[in-house]
Amino acid sequence: MAKAKAEREVKEKTPKKNKATVQEAAQKDAAAPAKAGATPMQGPEIAQGTSATQLPASETMPQSVPPQSQRRQPGLEHRMTPAPVVIRASYRGSGKLSGKVALISGGDSGIGRAVAVHFAREGANVAFLYLDEHEDAAETVRLIEAEARVGLAISGDVGDPKACKKAVKEVLRKFGQLDVLVNNAGEQHPQESLLDIAPEQLERTFRTNVFGMFYLTQAALPHLPAGASIINTTSVTAYRGSSTLLDYSSTKGAQVAFTRSLSGNLAAKGIRVNAVAPGPIWTPLIPSTFSAEQVGNHGVKVPLERPGQPAEVAPAYVYLACQDSSYVTGQVMHVNGGEVVNG
């Protein structure tokens, strides 16, 4: 299991450094113990990367990433350079998710981690399901708790229906409710030819990306109240395709169809179902699936000519999770650096 997206890059620029006063505030707040019932933080208190000593997210997003690769899937966020931007220093929560509980698959890193931290800043307690990236998962819990919320990390394979049922049971045991489900887990395995895609790879990609989405939603659905929200992470590849990600892009198309179909099925119950289709976002999926050269070019072909950061995608999930989107269901939000897609 991993997290989603594409390939590319752009010319290098050095991000602006944060002011000392902001650094001091972040370090002070990150060190403070979290209280489950406290008011969520409102300002630039959260750390950007993967350790307690890192500085708040820069307001200037990195313009490029250096060539690098990882030899394992899922990828590891704590080995990425630069560390993905999790949340903007200026992002201020306003209680949009106060009193809510969210469950996110693939929430240990990448887009999933950013969504977890944004939800926490908006007042939600957050549980997440992850495969085996234990160090990344522990850091995500720390970031949630730095927002004075409760975080719960659950290790398991989303492609296993028993693991999905167990995850939901743990959420209910811990929090007694579930209000927002984010199906975010995903994996990809580039191949130059259709003939290179072995049956085992095809089954594995569909099991994580499609079956896992079905299994986790089936496990959660009986416990979702009216007003709940289901959000699926699809991809720009569902709309424009990918010549080297044939099975992956097929799963992303299936996720769009699932989103639209389930939205109609659940509308009468007051449960909204939407999706987000990110473009080339800087997540562990990228260095763990592409060559160092391809990673160095991540994001170069989109109109904004740079890779996106998880902090730039996560607010779309906040919108779809909260009552600001009460009249929105069956829709897909496109956060892709300027690619124009139909649908």
Residues serving a catalytic function are: 248
Q: Which residues, 6+ apart, have CB-to-CB distance to 250 below 8 Å?
A: 206
**Residue 13 and residue 63: Cα distance in Å, rounded?**
6
**129 beta partners:** 105, 154
**Residue 311 and residue 57: Cα distance in Å, rounded?**
9
**What dihedral do alpha carbons 111, 112, 114, 115 form, nearest 10°?**
110
**Residue 233 and residue 182: Cα distance in Å, rounded?**
8
Measuring CA to CA, which residue among 277, 311, 333 is closest to residue 121?
Answer: 311
**Residue 92 and residue 142: Cα distance in Å, rounded?**
19
C-alpha count within 13 angstroms, C-beta hemisphere, residue 234: 31
**Residue 106 and residue 111: Cα distance in Å, rounded?**
8
- Tokens 């987000």 found at: 276
**Residue 164 and residue 214: Cα distance in Å, rounded?**
10
Give the single-character DSSP code of 8: B
Report H helices in the chain: 20-31, 110-121, 134-145, 161-175, 199-206, 212-220, 237-240, 246-266, 285-289, 292-296, 310-321
